[in-house]
Copies of this chain bind each other. A is one copy, B any other.
Amino acid sequence: MKQNKYDDPAFFSAYQQMNRSVKGLEGAGEWHVFKSLLPDLRDQHVLDLGCGFGWHCRYAREQQASSVVGVDLSEKMLQKAREMTEDDLAVTYLQMPIEDISFSPDQFDVVISSLAFHYVKDFGELCQKVYHCLKTGGTFLFSVEHPIFTARAQQDWTVDEQGRRLHWPVDHYQEEGMRKTSFLAENVIKYHRTISTYMNDLIEQGFRIKAVQEPMPTEEMRKDDPLMQDEMRRPMFLILSAEKVSPAT
């Protein structure tokens, strides 16, 4: 059974108060980078894995995507997503674990995912499923928590006695697997993988890496929120853009 923390009332309530939940895409520090890597979505069939409140699904429709499928494990998240998407028949929300997707071959032109895959145990298997349902030449674009960020289960700064942030500690980097973390609640299960695993799983599946980004908040964001300045000290997110190439290439 996959952990479904987002349907835990306390977790859900805390998540709802995050900037990215209230303000949507513009409240997410990495959105400007993610957006810049999106292909033209006009007339495209788009799949969003771990769609949450559906912000990316609605964005895709604003960009004239012809259809969007959003997948999420959390019924509570999808309920809110459906409310906010109103009566757009071109958006379909499906409640299921990301790992269980089973779409037709070449069903999508673009597959995206925002900060969901660090909840997935087997990334290689997921790559295989995405490759299967993506058209050749299609884009697979996703963000995850950065391996520098996920290595230690604590996922927090080293601070001095006054609570000042000294540096970001890394440990257990090469030990991939489960991490019981605290994120809005206790015992949130995430999976740490190395940078090389993310890259090689994609490459071995038949994707070509198109871009790698470790996004920084914009200067404006850093001015508005002094803590954002610390985002220059270590990367929190990793964004990968890959293209499905035909086996012959």
Listed in ascending order, the chain A residues whose CB lies under 8 Å from chain B are 148, 151-152, 158, 166-175, 194-196, 199-200, 203, 208-214, 216, 231-235, 249
- Asked if A169 and B158 sit within 8 Å, CB to CB, the answer is yes
Question: Are A235 and B169 closer than 8 Å at their CB atoms?
Answer: no
Given known A167-B158, A195-B212, A249-B249, contact A234–B173 (CB-CB < 8 A): yes
User: What distance in Å separates the Cβ of A37 from its nearest Cβ neighbour in chain B?
Assistant: 11
Q: Give the distance to chain B from A136, nearest Cβ to Cβ, in Å.
A: 14
Residues of B within 8 A of A172 (CB): 232-233
Once the chains are docked, how many angstroms separate the CA of A211 from the CA of B152? 25
Q: In this complex, what residue of B is CB-closest to A204? A: B211
Contacts A200-B212, A214-B194: A167 and B174 contacting too (C-beta < 8 A)? Answer: no
Shortest CB-to-CB span from A113 to chain B, Å, is 18
- Complex interface: chain B residues within 8 A of A210 (CB): 203
CA distance A92 to B173 in the complex (A): 40
B-side contacts of A196, CB under 8 Å: 212-214
Complex interface: chain B residues within 8 A of A158 (CB): 158, 167, 169
A200 to B213, CA, bound (A): 8
- CB of B203 within 8 A of CB of A199, answer no
* A169 CB contact (under 8 Å) in B166, B195, B200: B166
Instruction: Give the residues in chain B near A200, CB-CB below 8 Å.
Output: 211-213
- Say yes or no: A203-B195 contact (C-beta < 8 A), given A169-B168, A173-B235: no
Residue of B nearest to A249 (CB): B249
